[in-house]
Amino acid sequence: MRVALLSSLELLGAEDEGRRAFMRIGGRSVLQRQMELALAFGCERIACLSDSISPELMDLQSFAESRGTQFQIIRDARPLSGMVKSDDKLLVIGDGVVFDQSVAHEVLGEGRKVLTLPADRGVPLGFERLDRDRAWAGVMIAAGALVERLADMPRDIDPVSTLLRLALQSGSITAEVSAEMLADDSWALVNSSGSAAKFEKRWLAKAVKPASFAAPTSSIADRTALSVLKRHTRPQKAVRAGAAISIASLIGAAAAGWAGYPVAGLGIAAITWFSGRFAGTLSSIVSDGLEATRLNRWSAPGLSVVVDALIIMLALATVPPSKKIAAFFAVFMLLGLLRVLAAKTNDFSGPNLRDFFQDRGLLLAILCTAAAFGNITLISQAVAAILMLFALVRSLPSRITQV
Protein backbone atom coordinates (compact mmCIF):
# COMPACT_ATOMS: atom_id res chain seq x y z
CA MET A 1 0.00 0.00 0.00
CA ARG A 2 1.06 3.58 -0.55
CA VAL A 3 0.76 6.26 2.10
CA ALA A 4 1.50 10.00 1.90
CA LEU A 5 2.80 12.28 4.62
CA LEU A 6 2.17 16.01 4.18
CA SER A 7 2.60 18.97 6.50
CA SER A 8 0.83 22.24 7.25
CA LEU A 9 2.93 23.47 10.16
CA GLU A 10 5.22 26.09 8.66
CA LEU A 11 4.27 29.77 8.71
CA LEU A 12 4.99 32.23 5.93
CA GLY A 13 7.64 34.92 6.26
CA ALA A 14 7.38 37.78 8.74
CA GLU A 15 5.79 40.15 6.22
CA ASP A 16 3.00 37.65 5.41
CA GLU A 17 0.32 35.98 7.46
CA GLY A 18 -0.90 32.41 7.40
CA ARG A 19 0.65 29.07 6.60
CA ARG A 20 2.58 27.93 3.58
CA ALA A 21 0.29 24.98 2.97
CA PHE A 22 -2.80 27.16 2.56
CA MET A 23 -1.39 29.68 0.10
CA ARG A 24 -3.58 29.61 -3.01
CA ILE A 25 -1.98 29.17 -6.42
CA GLY A 26 -4.21 29.05 -9.46
CA GLY A 27 -7.35 28.47 -7.43
CA ARG A 28 -5.94 25.63 -5.32
CA SER A 29 -3.92 25.64 -2.13
CA VAL A 30 -0.36 24.35 -1.98
CA LEU A 31 -1.56 21.45 0.19
CA GLN A 32 -4.27 20.48 -2.28
CA ARG A 33 -1.72 20.44 -5.09
CA GLN A 34 0.44 18.12 -3.01
CA MET A 35 -2.58 15.92 -2.35
CA GLU A 36 -3.17 15.66 -6.08
CA LEU A 37 0.30 14.17 -6.52
CA ALA A 38 -0.38 11.74 -3.66
CA LEU A 39 -3.69 10.66 -5.18
CA ALA A 40 -2.19 10.33 -8.65
CA PHE A 41 0.63 8.26 -7.10
CA GLY A 42 -2.00 5.84 -5.79
CA CYS A 43 -1.84 6.67 -2.08
CA GLU A 44 -4.72 5.05 -0.18
CA ARG A 45 -4.01 6.98 3.00
CA ILE A 46 -2.84 10.56 3.55
CA ALA A 47 -1.55 11.88 6.86
CA CYS A 48 -1.15 15.62 7.37
CA LEU A 49 0.86 17.14 10.19
CA SER A 50 -0.94 20.05 11.84
CA ASP A 51 -1.16 21.64 15.26
CA SER A 52 -4.84 22.49 14.80
CA ILE A 53 -7.92 21.43 12.85
CA SER A 54 -8.70 24.28 10.48
CA PRO A 55 -11.56 24.73 8.00
CA GLU A 56 -9.03 24.38 5.17
CA LEU A 57 -7.99 20.95 6.42
CA MET A 58 -11.60 19.85 6.82
CA ASP A 59 -12.26 20.83 3.20
CA LEU A 60 -9.22 18.88 2.07
CA GLN A 61 -10.33 15.89 4.11
CA SER A 62 -13.64 15.92 2.25
CA PHE A 63 -11.74 16.34 -1.02
CA ALA A 64 -9.62 13.25 -0.32
CA GLU A 65 -12.44 11.09 1.03
CA SER A 66 -14.61 11.89 -1.99
CA ARG A 67 -11.90 10.12 -3.99
CA GLY A 68 -11.84 7.07 -1.75
CA THR A 69 -8.71 8.00 0.19
CA GLN A 70 -8.39 8.11 3.97
CA PHE A 71 -7.24 11.46 5.32
CA GLN A 72 -6.00 11.84 8.88
CA ILE A 73 -4.79 14.96 10.68
CA ILE A 74 -1.94 14.22 13.12
CA ARG A 75 0.04 16.38 15.54
CA ASP A 76 3.24 14.30 15.64
CA ALA A 77 4.79 11.14 14.27
CA ARG A 78 3.29 8.64 16.71
CA PRO A 79 0.00 7.97 14.85
CA LEU A 80 2.01 7.11 11.73
CA SER A 81 2.96 3.72 13.16
CA GLY A 82 -0.69 2.69 12.97
CA MET A 83 -1.10 3.95 9.41
CA VAL A 84 2.08 2.70 7.74
CA LYS A 85 3.21 -0.93 7.55
CA SER A 86 6.77 -2.02 7.01
CA ASP A 87 6.14 -3.11 3.41
CA ASP A 88 4.33 0.11 2.46
CA LYS A 89 5.75 2.91 0.35
CA LEU A 90 5.69 6.32 2.01
CA LEU A 91 5.49 9.44 -0.15
CA VAL A 92 6.77 12.43 1.83
CA ILE A 93 6.31 16.00 0.60
CA GLY A 94 7.81 18.96 2.41
CA ASP A 95 5.77 21.85 3.74
CA GLY A 96 5.14 24.49 1.06
CA VAL A 97 6.78 22.66 -1.85
CA VAL A 98 5.08 23.10 -5.25
CA PHE A 99 6.07 21.62 -8.59
CA ASP A 100 5.00 20.48 -12.01
CA GLN A 101 3.33 17.15 -11.41
CA SER A 102 4.49 15.70 -14.71
CA VAL A 103 8.11 16.35 -13.77
CA ALA A 104 7.62 14.95 -10.26
CA HIS A 105 6.14 11.73 -11.67
CA GLU A 106 8.94 11.37 -14.18
CA VAL A 107 11.74 11.86 -11.68
CA LEU A 108 10.16 9.87 -8.84
CA GLY A 109 9.39 6.69 -10.74
CA GLU A 110 8.37 3.78 -8.52
CA GLY A 111 11.26 2.92 -6.22
CA ARG A 112 12.63 4.45 -3.02
CA LYS A 113 14.07 7.76 -4.02
CA VAL A 114 15.01 11.15 -2.57
CA LEU A 115 14.77 14.09 -4.95
CA THR A 116 17.56 16.64 -4.66
CA LEU A 117 18.56 20.04 -5.98
CA PRO A 118 21.98 21.68 -6.34
CA ALA A 119 22.69 23.17 -2.93
CA ASP A 120 23.98 26.46 -4.28
CA ARG A 121 20.62 27.03 -5.98
CA GLY A 122 18.21 25.38 -3.55
CA VAL A 123 19.44 26.43 -0.11
CA PRO A 124 19.14 30.21 -0.71
CA LEU A 125 15.51 29.59 -1.69
CA GLY A 126 14.79 27.81 1.59
CA PHE A 127 15.24 24.14 0.65
CA GLU A 128 16.82 21.94 3.32
CA ARG A 129 20.54 21.27 2.88
CA LEU A 130 21.65 17.62 2.76
CA ASP A 131 25.38 18.08 2.30
CA ARG A 132 27.80 20.47 0.66
CA ASP A 133 26.51 19.88 -2.85
CA ARG A 134 22.88 18.86 -2.43
CA ALA A 135 19.63 20.15 -1.00
CA TRP A 136 16.38 18.23 -0.57
CA ALA A 137 13.90 19.09 -3.31
CA GLY A 138 11.01 18.44 -0.90
CA VAL A 139 9.74 15.11 -2.27
CA MET A 140 10.80 11.55 -1.56
CA ILE A 141 9.57 7.94 -1.52
CA ALA A 142 10.71 6.07 1.57
CA ALA A 143 10.25 2.56 2.93
CA GLY A 144 7.40 2.16 5.40
CA ALA A 145 9.75 0.35 7.79
CA LEU A 146 11.40 3.68 8.60
CA VAL A 147 8.26 4.82 10.43
CA GLU A 148 8.79 2.21 13.12
CA ARG A 149 12.09 3.86 14.04
CA LEU A 150 10.29 7.14 14.73
CA ALA A 151 8.51 5.57 17.72
CA ASP A 152 11.79 5.37 19.65
CA MET A 153 12.56 9.05 19.17
CA PRO A 154 11.47 12.10 21.20
CA ARG A 155 7.91 13.28 20.62
CA ASP A 156 8.97 16.78 19.51
CA ILE A 157 11.05 15.70 16.52
CA ASP A 158 10.29 16.98 13.03
CA PRO A 159 8.88 13.81 11.39
CA VAL A 160 9.54 14.96 7.82
CA SER A 161 13.16 15.97 8.41
CA THR A 162 13.82 12.86 10.50
CA LEU A 163 12.38 10.54 7.85
CA LEU A 164 14.57 12.27 5.29
CA ARG A 165 17.72 11.54 7.32
CA LEU A 166 16.65 7.95 7.96
CA ALA A 167 15.97 7.40 4.27
CA LEU A 168 19.41 8.64 3.30
CA GLN A 169 21.05 6.53 6.02
CA SER A 170 19.18 3.43 4.85
CA GLY A 171 20.59 3.75 1.36
CA SER A 172 17.75 5.35 -0.58
CA ILE A 173 19.00 6.53 -3.93
CA THR A 174 18.84 10.18 -4.90
CA ALA A 175 17.66 11.74 -8.13
CA GLU A 176 18.42 15.33 -9.03
CA VAL A 177 15.79 17.79 -10.15
CA SER A 178 17.30 20.07 -12.76
CA ALA A 179 18.30 23.53 -11.57
CA GLU A 180 16.44 24.84 -14.61
CA MET A 181 13.22 23.93 -12.82
CA LEU A 182 14.11 26.47 -10.14
CA ALA A 183 15.13 29.06 -12.70
CA ASP A 184 11.78 29.01 -14.50
CA ASP A 185 9.77 28.74 -11.25
CA SER A 186 8.29 25.35 -12.11
CA TRP A 187 9.67 23.88 -8.87
CA ALA A 188 9.51 26.15 -5.85
CA LEU A 189 9.21 26.48 -2.10
CA VAL A 190 6.36 28.77 -1.14
CA ASN A 191 7.65 30.66 1.89
CA SER A 192 6.19 34.08 1.05
CA SER A 193 3.43 35.64 -1.00
CA GLY A 194 6.08 36.72 -3.52
CA SER A 195 7.29 33.17 -4.19
CA ALA A 196 3.68 32.01 -4.53
CA ALA A 197 2.97 34.76 -7.05
CA LYS A 198 6.01 33.84 -9.15
CA PHE A 199 5.01 30.19 -9.34
CA GLU A 200 1.39 31.09 -10.06
CA LYS A 201 2.38 33.40 -12.93
CA ARG A 202 4.45 30.71 -14.62
CA TRP A 203 1.87 28.01 -14.00
CA LEU A 204 -1.01 30.08 -15.35
CA ALA A 205 1.00 30.96 -18.45
CA LYS A 206 1.40 27.24 -19.10
CA ALA A 207 -2.12 26.21 -18.05
CA VAL A 208 -4.10 28.59 -20.23
CA LYS A 209 -3.45 31.11 -22.97
CA PRO A 210 -6.20 33.75 -23.16
CA ALA A 211 -7.69 34.42 -26.57
CA SER A 212 -6.16 37.34 -28.45
CA PHE A 213 -7.90 40.71 -28.57
CA ALA A 214 -8.78 39.94 -32.19
CA ALA A 215 -11.59 37.90 -30.60
CA PRO A 216 -13.00 40.48 -28.15
CA THR A 217 -15.74 38.36 -26.53
CA SER A 218 -13.54 35.32 -25.95
CA SER A 219 -10.63 37.50 -24.84
CA ILE A 220 -12.71 39.34 -22.24
CA ALA A 221 -14.21 36.05 -21.00
CA ASP A 222 -10.78 34.45 -20.58
CA ARG A 223 -9.29 37.45 -18.79
CA THR A 224 -12.34 37.75 -16.56
CA ALA A 225 -11.83 34.10 -15.59
CA LEU A 226 -8.19 34.78 -14.70
CA SER A 227 -9.19 37.82 -12.64
CA VAL A 228 -11.84 35.85 -10.75
CA LEU A 229 -9.36 33.04 -10.16
CA LYS A 230 -6.90 35.34 -8.40
CA ARG A 231 -9.52 36.97 -6.17
CA HIS A 232 -12.09 34.24 -5.53
CA THR A 233 -11.37 31.90 -2.62
CA ARG A 234 -13.69 29.25 -4.09
CA PRO A 235 -13.40 29.51 -7.89
CA GLN A 236 -15.37 26.28 -8.33
CA LYS A 237 -18.48 28.22 -7.34
CA ALA A 238 -17.75 30.77 -10.05
CA VAL A 239 -17.46 27.90 -12.55
CA ARG A 240 -20.86 26.56 -11.56
CA ALA A 241 -22.37 30.05 -11.70
CA GLY A 242 -20.97 30.67 -15.17
CA ALA A 243 -22.24 27.32 -16.43
CA ALA A 244 -25.68 27.98 -14.93
CA ILE A 245 -25.87 31.40 -16.59
CA SER A 246 -24.83 29.87 -19.90
CA ILE A 247 -27.56 27.22 -19.74
CA ALA A 248 -30.20 29.71 -18.56
CA SER A 249 -29.36 32.20 -21.32
CA LEU A 250 -29.39 29.40 -23.90
CA ILE A 251 -32.92 28.50 -22.85
CA GLY A 252 -33.86 32.19 -22.74
CA ALA A 253 -32.53 32.81 -26.26
CA ALA A 254 -34.44 29.85 -27.67
CA ALA A 255 -37.59 30.95 -25.85
CA ALA A 256 -37.24 34.51 -27.17
CA GLY A 257 -36.99 33.21 -30.72
CA TRP A 258 -39.97 30.93 -30.23
CA ALA A 259 -42.02 33.81 -28.80
CA GLY A 260 -41.31 36.02 -31.80
CA TYR A 261 -38.38 38.07 -30.52
CA PRO A 262 -35.44 36.61 -32.47
CA VAL A 263 -33.38 39.83 -32.35
CA ALA A 264 -33.49 39.73 -28.56
CA GLY A 265 -32.69 36.03 -28.76
CA LEU A 266 -29.51 36.75 -30.71
CA GLY A 267 -28.46 39.25 -28.06
CA ILE A 268 -29.16 36.75 -25.27
CA ALA A 269 -27.23 34.06 -27.17
CA ALA A 270 -24.12 36.26 -26.88
CA ILE A 271 -24.43 35.86 -23.11
CA THR A 272 -24.55 32.08 -23.63
CA TRP A 273 -21.22 32.20 -25.46
CA PHE A 274 -19.54 34.60 -23.03
CA SER A 275 -20.60 32.79 -19.84
CA GLY A 276 -19.85 29.38 -21.33
CA ARG A 277 -16.40 30.48 -22.39
CA PHE A 278 -15.80 32.02 -18.94
CA ALA A 279 -16.86 28.83 -17.14
CA GLY A 280 -14.80 26.63 -19.45
CA THR A 281 -11.62 28.67 -19.10
CA LEU A 282 -11.93 28.89 -15.33
CA SER A 283 -12.70 25.19 -15.02
CA SER A 284 -9.68 24.27 -17.13
CA ILE A 285 -7.46 26.04 -14.60
CA VAL A 286 -9.01 24.88 -11.32
CA SER A 287 -9.62 21.26 -12.38
CA ASP A 288 -7.96 18.95 -9.87
CA GLY A 289 -5.64 17.32 -12.41
CA LEU A 290 -6.84 13.79 -11.56
CA GLU A 291 -9.62 13.18 -14.05
CA ALA A 292 -8.05 15.20 -16.91
CA THR A 293 -11.33 17.09 -17.17
CA ARG A 294 -10.31 20.21 -19.03
CA LEU A 295 -13.79 21.67 -19.49
CA ASN A 296 -12.55 24.49 -21.67
CA ARG A 297 -10.73 22.15 -24.03
CA TRP A 298 -13.40 19.44 -24.17
CA SER A 299 -16.61 21.44 -24.04
CA ALA A 300 -15.59 24.38 -26.24
CA PRO A 301 -16.43 22.44 -29.43
CA GLY A 302 -19.75 21.41 -27.89
CA LEU A 303 -20.55 24.97 -26.87
CA SER A 304 -19.71 26.19 -30.37
CA VAL A 305 -22.01 23.59 -31.98
CA VAL A 306 -24.91 24.50 -29.69
CA VAL A 307 -24.46 28.23 -30.30
CA ASP A 308 -24.20 27.68 -34.07
CA ALA A 309 -27.46 25.71 -34.05
CA LEU A 310 -29.07 28.48 -32.02
CA ILE A 311 -27.83 31.12 -34.49
CA ILE A 312 -29.41 29.26 -37.41
CA MET A 313 -32.71 28.87 -35.57
CA LEU A 314 -32.87 32.53 -34.57
CA ALA A 315 -31.75 33.75 -37.99
CA LEU A 316 -34.61 31.84 -39.63
CA ALA A 317 -37.03 33.38 -37.15
CA THR A 318 -36.08 36.90 -38.28
CA VAL A 319 -37.25 36.46 -41.90
CA PRO A 320 -40.63 35.70 -43.46
CA PRO A 321 -41.37 32.14 -44.67
CA SER A 322 -40.63 33.00 -48.31
CA LYS A 323 -37.05 33.98 -47.46
CA LYS A 324 -36.15 31.22 -44.99
CA ILE A 325 -34.29 29.07 -47.54
CA ALA A 326 -32.04 31.97 -48.58
CA ALA A 327 -31.44 32.94 -44.96
CA PHE A 328 -30.62 29.37 -43.99
CA PHE A 329 -28.15 28.96 -46.85
CA ALA A 330 -26.42 32.29 -46.12
CA VAL A 331 -26.02 31.68 -42.38
CA PHE A 332 -25.08 28.02 -42.85
CA MET A 333 -22.36 28.91 -45.35
CA LEU A 334 -21.08 31.66 -43.06
CA LEU A 335 -20.77 29.33 -40.10
CA GLY A 336 -19.19 26.65 -42.26
CA LEU A 337 -16.56 29.04 -43.59
CA LEU A 338 -15.72 30.19 -40.08
CA ARG A 339 -15.17 26.60 -39.00
CA VAL A 340 -13.01 25.77 -42.01
CA LEU A 341 -10.87 28.88 -41.56
CA ALA A 342 -10.47 28.21 -37.85
CA ALA A 343 -9.31 24.66 -38.62
CA LYS A 344 -6.90 25.84 -41.33
CA THR A 345 -5.00 28.50 -39.41
CA ASN A 346 -1.68 26.81 -40.19
CA ASP A 347 -2.37 27.37 -43.88
CA PHE A 348 -4.06 30.77 -43.83
CA SER A 349 -3.16 32.61 -40.62
CA GLY A 350 -1.90 32.41 -37.07
CA PRO A 351 -3.58 31.78 -33.72
CA ASN A 352 -4.91 35.34 -33.48
CA LEU A 353 -7.12 34.88 -36.51
CA ARG A 354 -8.15 31.45 -35.31
CA ASP A 355 -9.50 33.07 -32.16
CA PHE A 356 -11.25 35.62 -34.34
CA PHE A 357 -12.92 32.94 -36.47
CA GLN A 358 -14.06 31.06 -33.35
CA ASP A 359 -15.50 34.07 -31.50
CA ARG A 360 -19.26 33.53 -31.68
CA GLY A 361 -19.93 36.49 -29.40
CA LEU A 362 -18.59 38.89 -32.02
CA LEU A 363 -20.56 37.10 -34.75
CA LEU A 364 -23.75 37.32 -32.71
CA ALA A 365 -23.26 41.06 -32.24
CA ILE A 366 -22.97 41.48 -36.03
CA LEU A 367 -25.98 39.30 -36.77
CA CYS A 368 -28.07 40.91 -34.03
CA THR A 369 -27.43 44.35 -35.53
CA ALA A 370 -28.17 43.05 -39.02
CA ALA A 371 -31.41 41.40 -37.88
CA ALA A 372 -32.53 44.60 -36.16
CA PHE A 373 -32.39 46.35 -39.55
CA GLY A 374 -33.91 43.39 -41.41
CA ASN A 375 -30.74 42.55 -43.37
CA ILE A 376 -29.47 39.34 -41.76
CA THR A 377 -29.40 37.42 -45.06
CA LEU A 378 -27.57 40.16 -46.93
CA ILE A 379 -25.03 40.71 -44.14
CA SER A 380 -24.41 36.97 -43.80
CA GLN A 381 -23.79 36.72 -47.55
CA ALA A 382 -21.46 39.72 -47.48
CA VAL A 383 -19.41 38.42 -44.55
CA ALA A 384 -19.22 34.95 -46.12
CA ALA A 385 -18.00 36.50 -49.39
CA ILE A 386 -15.29 38.45 -47.54
CA LEU A 387 -14.16 35.29 -45.77
CA MET A 388 -14.05 33.39 -49.05
CA LEU A 389 -11.95 36.10 -50.67
CA PHE A 390 -9.61 36.05 -47.68
CA ALA A 391 -9.13 32.30 -48.01
CA LEU A 392 -8.52 32.54 -51.76
CA VAL A 393 -5.99 35.36 -51.42
CA ARG A 394 -4.09 33.60 -48.63
CA SER A 395 -3.97 30.37 -50.62
CA LEU A 396 -2.53 31.98 -53.78
CA PRO A 397 1.18 32.09 -52.70
CA SER A 398 1.19 28.40 -51.86
CA ARG A 399 -0.38 27.55 -55.23
CA ILE A 400 2.21 29.65 -57.12
CA THR A 401 5.17 28.05 -55.40
CA GLN A 402 3.90 24.56 -56.19
CA VAL A 403 4.08 25.13 -59.97
Q: Which tens digit of pLDDT belongs to each residue from 24-83?
A: 888 788 998 899 899 988 899 999 999 888 888 998 899 888 888 999 999 888 888 888
CA angle, 288 then 293 then 299, to 5°:
140
Mean pLDDT of 111-131: 89
Residue 366 has pLDDT above 90, yes or no: yes
Q: What confidence score (pLDDT) does residue 388 get?
A: 92
User: Alpha helices of 48-115 — where are they, by DSSP H?
Assistant: 55-65, 80-83, 101-108
Residue 353 has pLDDT above 90, yes or no: no
DSSP letter, residue 78: T
Mean pLDDT of 267-293: 79
Could you give the angle at which helices 262-286 and 360-372 cross, rounded to 10 degrees? 170
Q: What confidence score (pLDDT) does residue 398 get?
A: 53
DSSP letter, residue 212: P
pLDDT tens for residues 77-111?
888 888 888 888 999 999 999 988 877 888 887 66
The answer to whether 70 and 46 have CB atoms below 8 angstroms apart is yes
State how far the Cα of 174 lies from the Cα of 396, in Å rounded to an integer. 58
Q: What confidence score (pLDDT) does residue 77 get?
A: 84
CA angle, 155 then 158 then 160, to 5°:
130
State how far the Cα of 350 lies from the Cα of 340, in Å rounded to an integer. 14
Q: What confidence score (pLDDT) does residue 155 get?
A: 78
Closest CA to 31 of 70, 1, 58: 58
Kindly state the percentage of the chain with pLDDT values over 90. Answer: 48
Residue 399 has pLDDT above 60, yes or no: no
pLDDT tens for residues 137-168?
999 999 888 888 887 788 778 899 999 999 99
Mean pLDDT of 2-21: 84
Mean pLDDT of 316-333: 94
